[in-house]
Amino acid sequence: MSTQNIFGSEIPSVDNASDGTAYSLGTRFKPQVNGTITGIRWYFPLSVDAVVPVKAGLYYMPTSYLMDQTEFSLSAAPGWNSVDFDTPLVVTAGELYQAAIWTPHHYVATNNYSWPKTSGDLITETPGGFFTAGEDFAIPNNSFSNGNYFVDVLFTPEGDEEVSEPLTITIWNGTIEISVGGVVVWDGTTEVPANVDTIV
């Protein structure tokens, strides 16, 4: 399975900014092929709140729709961290999305970032970094000084999803083929449906 992201191992120029305000921060991007977003990445600042977790989500920008939301672990260390959604989110080539996080205190940034950023099948807007101040998770709508707040995605192009392969086990009187569809016992002449707990 080939997973892509936008910023790779890049490091922000400011790694522990704070003005006492809670912010929703985001990156706007378009996938160039269909696929799924399995999670969100964010470069954690040096100071991470030990009580209130950082929230993460994905917005579909044409309708400002929050597709899903989750939370990072409170034990996450400074640097790149990621969190998965419970279910991968389907995204469409050429549509605009925004990866977003909400942080209660500290954040990271690089001003005058060189937008757009293209990485694999992902390309950002110009500018790509946005923010909104507030105590609740909200869609980031403001830009300042071409800032980048290092909010990223985990993207899997269509066709690269992990596929479960059938498992075949040879036994003394035939074979058992185990697949997503169930279990089939082959006795040499016919296929006989069976429950796993009846096979010995």
- Looking at residue 48, its pLDDT comes to 82
Check whether residue 101 and residue 174 sit in a common domain: no
- In a domain? residue 112: yes
Whole-model pTM above 0.85?
no
- Cross-strand pairs, 155: 4, 37
Supply the CATH number for residue 78's domain: 2.60.120
Q: What residue numbers bound the domain in which 172 lies? A: 167-198
Residue carrying the six token digits 């279910």: 87
Cβ(41)–Cβ(200) under 8 Å?
no
Give the pLDDT score at 74. 87
Contact in structure between 68 and 57 (CB atoms under 8 Å): yes
Judge if 57 and 119 occupy the same domain.
yes
Verify that 142 and 76 share a domain, yes or no.
Answer: yes
- Shared domain for 183 and 133, answered yes or no, is no
**Whether residues 69 and 23 fall in one domain:** yes
Q: Are residues 66 and 139 both part of a single domain? A: yes
The tens digit of pLDDT for each residue in 33-60 reads: 999 999 999 999 999 877 899 999 999 9
pLDDT tens digits, 140-165: 999 999 999 999 999 999 986 554 44
H-run or E-run covering 141: none
Question: How many structural domains comprise the chain?
Answer: 2
Beta bridge partners of 81: 42
Nearest CA to 115 out of 104, 134, 130 is that of 130
Provide the pLDDT for residue 200. 39
Residues 149 and 64 occupy one common structural domain: yes
37 shares a domain with 101: yes
Q: Where residue 199 falls among pLDDT bands split at 50, 70, 90? A: very low
Mean pLDDT of 76-97: 97
Q: Is residue 3 situated within a structural domain?
A: no
Count of CB atoms situated within 10 Å of the CB of 72: 20
Two tokens, residue 119:
């990485």
Q: Is 61 helix (H, G, I), strand (E, B) or coil?
A: helix
Q: Tell me how crowded residue 160 is: count the other CB atoms within 10 A of its CB.
A: 16
Q: Determine how many CB atoms are found less than 10 A away from the CB of residue 11.
A: 12
pLDDT at 45: 96
